Amino acid sequence: MSHDANCIFCKIVDGKIPSLKLVETEKSLAFVDIGPCAPGHSLIIPKYHAAKMHELPDDSLADILPVAKKVAIATGAAEYNVLQNNGRLAHQVVDHVHFHVIPKPSQEKGLVVGWPSTQPPKEELQKVHEKLMSQLPK
């Protein structure tokens, strides 16, 4: 199993840094975020160290969403976000894959997102589709 001795999340997995654990499986750990943007904001991390989601083995990735579902239910939030960032430009701060479950109790509390959608022509979308199809892993 991949581990990074300098990674804060690996230290949490190893019990070297305390956390407020919620759910633990063989492959995942969920705990309360210490810098929440809403009450109940929690993190789900794989025990396997990988910086970005595409570097994570599929079996570790498959274990995470059922844990996120349990945490989402536990918050009691009718509305919530599940967020996962990859890389600095995408707002990733800790270089260990992690999923946030963030309750959205009001317009002001919880995750605030800007969504700069565009309206590209159908031909441009078709080119993007073709490129993605040619690069999908088999």
**Is 96 assigned a catalytic role?**
no
From the candidates 49, 96, 98, 100, which is the catalytic residue?
98
In a domain, 125, yes or no: no
Domain presence at residue 24: yes
In a domain, residue 133? The reply is: no
Flag whether 121 is in a domain. Answer: no
Q: Give the residue, 47 or 2, on which the prediction is more confident.
A: 47
Whether the pTM exceeds 0.85: the reply is yes
pLDDT digits (tens, 9 = 90+) for 93-107: 999 999 999 999 999
Tens-place pLDDT, residues 61-93: 999 999 999 999 999 999 999 999 999 999 999
Provide the CATH number for the domain around residue 70.
Answer: 3.30.428.10
* Residue 4 neighbours by CB under 8 Å, 6+ apart: 10, 49, 96
Domain count for the chain, please give it. Answer: 1
Q: Is residue 137 part of a domain?
A: no
What pLDDT digit, counting tens, does each position of 1-44 carry? 788 989 999 999 999 999 999 999 999 999 999 999 999 999 99
The residues, any chain, with a CB within 8 Å of residue 57's CB and separated by 6 or more, are 48, 50
Domain span holding position 47: 8-113
